[in-house]
Amino acid sequence: MQGKQHEDFMRIAIRLSEQNVSNSLGGPFGAVIVKEGKIVGKSANKVTRTLDPTAHAEVSAIRIASKKLKTFDLSGCLIYTSCEPCPMCLSAIYWARIDKIYFANTKDDACKIGFDDQFIYNEMALPRDQRKVIIEQMLRDEALNAFRLWDKSPMKISY
């Protein structure tokens, strides 16, 4: 793809973010997923509209693209997002195997308007016993059985 096409897709993501705010639908974030020059998924942030804290623009666009392409593997896809992805979205992009991320606003720009994810980066760096959300392991031996079953399962699919 050429530079103009990349800019066109980014402008769609930016428009989604602006329309989301202008229409009082949610936060100022938009994302577009493209494969072979065609849009396969696009979404604005849907957190407040759907009452789903995971419905960020990137995650929502990944869900749409995966459904459309009938796969959880989005290799060969590009994502254009109006803002640098948060930790959750970045993880989802990696899990989806998207090839490249293009972004407009930075995480510092987002922080200036109240979307500060630095606390998550800080928490991830801490040992589990020092994090704000209490994490306690239990019944590991019982839970390992599901892993053993999966490891031997004929339906096992790597992802």
Q: Which residues are catalytic?
A: 58
Q: In which residue are the tokens 């306690």 written?
A: 136
DSSP assignment string, the chain: --HHHHHHHHHHHHHHHHHHHHTTSS-S-EEEEEETTEEEEEEE--HHHHT-TT--HHHHHHHHHHHHHT-S--TTEEEEEEEPPPHHHHHHHHHHT-SEEEEEE-HHHHHHTT---HHHHHHHHS-GGGSSS------HHHHHHHHHHHHH-TT----
Strands 30-35 and 38-44 turn out to be antiparallel
